[in-house]
Structure 1
């Protein structure tokens, strides 16, 4: 009796993974998840609501069913709970804009074989400069990714009952952490350090949420701009460590230690892998993004963060799950 040859379905699905990016991005572009949420449960109804061809609507529904983002019951379609939570326009956790943005990024993967051979980018990254119009698109688009982690961090730190605390958000982007934390604690104040065009976006977004009066910004590059001494109760470093090398991360962690008041905490949010690099899956795959776009970055291990923070002068380091990210909190 011979072993049965495995079916190629799984491998073919991965090889053609760009189809999933295309289907989800196109569905988001036409607000299909929003229309499904509002009762347009057939291809014909979706075509009318979205003002697209019925054939196009049916094709997207077929694809979304295939990738597990819609369900079909007696000829009627509906969002899965996951799609309802993260792809319906207007929800604070909506990744709809990000799904559309990723359609534009697919072409960059063509360079990955060459980048793997070289061990890093083969051309200088052009996006990581202050004056780049792409910030206006990408900063709001990725904000929703941080909502779950910001909420978990607020609970772990007990921010609701922390009183008049001061927060430093380094490289804060959209300011979504500050927005959620300031809403959680009406006595808190937050300062964001980032490039001026990005800070302008954050000020606008926090004004929309009604907390701009307790939010200030410092324009600058965090590599060179002073954090101050013993000024803050909480400091934040979200989704930046993965683009920095080990020595740079130790250096910035030491500056955080100096900027914090006695007993203060630094919160690091990032895609963290297990010490034996056996998982989780999302951070492992994300490492390819860093190889493409950064000269020294990567998805770092828990042991890396612990070692770096201890070198920087922190004593107590803990890890908290906020899938697909991990929160690292050090005091």
Structure 2
């Protein structure tokens, strides 16, 4: 093994430290503070109520990571940080980063245990999560960040001119549905979600100016019938469940979709011929959270929709992000 290979393994061994530096900066509110203007280390310390012992090295590590810039004694956000780490931008990753820090980091710390017993090290008690309005909103903002890149591409890769309505099943607080009706005003949208999300759904629809263009359908998609519609969307849903549960969801969707309609599925689908690290990390992440979840190949996705009665039409890898959109018609 050459020195270059050794160095790469050494860097990989401590890559978690870089992630935690980013996590820490988001959790203490550093990027929001610097969005107001450049600040010295002393000003950052005082305004964020931080201890001075770690601060200098912490701030300079963020400079080395390209997240901050330093001019003499003042620190400011880098352009990349200003774009995605400050609330209010079109793509805000802060909630997603907090979820990684507060939920996923500890879960991945037990990977060796999961490899031995096959059990998840996290949890997906969505019904319990949604009982706490603050925790629910934080989680759903994280979901908005996850699908913000997908939504505008989904509006383009599916021929929505053929349809008049859709329902996003498991569509969180409706971010994707809202973006679709904004891009295609002829559509009437819908979101099927657990009842606890409804107030947060209406809040976002009002914020995005699409109240009345997207309906909320309260229900458990395993226990309750899906609303009749032209298109049902499953976005980052099927990867949460095992094959039997996915087959049940697709069969329920087939019953709800009007003849001539379609099912649209997007997940980080796997390519066994050309393994992609991001997709594989995503798959392991889901498996650590759920009892039977994980990503699947396009061929497996096609087999599932065809078994449910659909006719497979296409699978398109999106140019931004890491999702593949599968379309099958009824």
SS at 1:272's partner residue?
A: coil
Contact 1:115 1:122 in 2 (8 A): yes
1:24 aligns with 2:25: no
Equivalent residue, structure 1, for 2:97: 99
Residue 293 in structure 1 maps to residue 292 in structure 2: no
Q: Which residue of 1 aligns with 2:262?
A: 265
Q: CA deviation at 1:298?
A: 1.0
- Superposition RMSD in Å: 2.9
Tell me: CA distance 1:16–1:4, structure 2 relative to 1, closer, same or farther (3 Å).
closer
> Please, which moves more after superposition, 58-67 or 237-246?
58-67
Which residue of structure 2 lines up, in the alignment, with residue 63 of structure 1? 61
For 2:248, the equivalent position in structure 1 comes to 251
Mapped partners of 2:201, 2:46: distance in 1: 36
Separation of aligned partners in 1, 2:23 and 2:296: 29
Q: Where in structure 2 are the equivalents of 1:141-290 lying within 5 Å? A: 141-159=142-160, 162=161, 165-228=164-227, 231-276=228-273, 278-290=274-286
Asked whether the 8 Å contact 1:116–1:291 carries over to 2, the reply is: no
Aligned counterparts of 2:306 and 2:287: Cα–Cα separation in 1: 27
Q: What displacement does 1:127 show?
A: 2.2
**In the aligned structure 1, how far is the partner of 2:257 from the partner of 2:100?**
37
TM-score normalized with structure 1 length: 0.84
Count residues in correspondence: 323
Task: Please report how far the alpha carbon of residue 152 of structure 1 lies from its aligned counterpart in structure 2 after TM superposition.
Answer: 0.2
Alpha-carbon shift at residue 170 of structure 1 (Å): 0.4
Matching residue of 1:311: 307
Structure 1 pair 40–192 and aligned structure 2 pair: CA distance change class (3 A): same
C-alpha change, 1:279 and 1:88, in structure 2 (3 Å) is farther
Going from structure 1 to structure 2, the CA distance change for 1:100 and 1:173 (only over 3 Å counts) comes to same
Q: TM-score, normalised by structure 2?
A: 0.84
Indicate how the Cα distance of structure 1 residues 25 and 262 shifts in structure 2: closer, same or farther if over 3 A, else same.
same
Shift of 1:65: 3.4
Change (3 A) 1:74 1:181: same
The 2-side partners of 1:186 and 1:97 are apart by 29
Task: Name the structure 1 match of 2:323.
Answer: 325
Unaligned runs of 5+ in 1: none
Are the structure 2 counterparts of residues 111 and 30 from structure 1 closer, same or farther at C-alpha, using a change threshold of 3 Å? closer
